[in-house]
Amino acid sequence: MNAKAKLLSGIVANPRQVRFASACKAAEMLGFVHKGGAGSHHAFARSGEPTGLNFQNRGGFIPPYQARQLIAMIEKYGDKP
Amino acid at 45: A
- In order along its 81 residues, the chain shows pLDDT tens digits of 688 889 999 999 999 999 999 999 999 999 999 999 888 899 999 999 999 999 999 999 999 999 999 999 999 988 765
pLDDT for residue 45: 96
Instruction: Report the alpha-carbon distance of residue 27 to residue 34 in Å, rounded.
Output: 9
**pLDDT attached to residue 10:** 93
Q: What topology does CATH give the domain 3-77? A: Metal Transport, Frataxin; Chain A (3.30.920)
| 9: CB partners within 8 A, 6+ apart | 1
User: What pLDDT score was predicted for residue 81?
Assistant: 53
Q: Is there a contact between 20 and 57 (Cβ–Cβ < 8 Å)?
A: yes
Q: How far is CA 2 from the centre of its chain?
A: 17
pLDDT of the residue at 17: 94
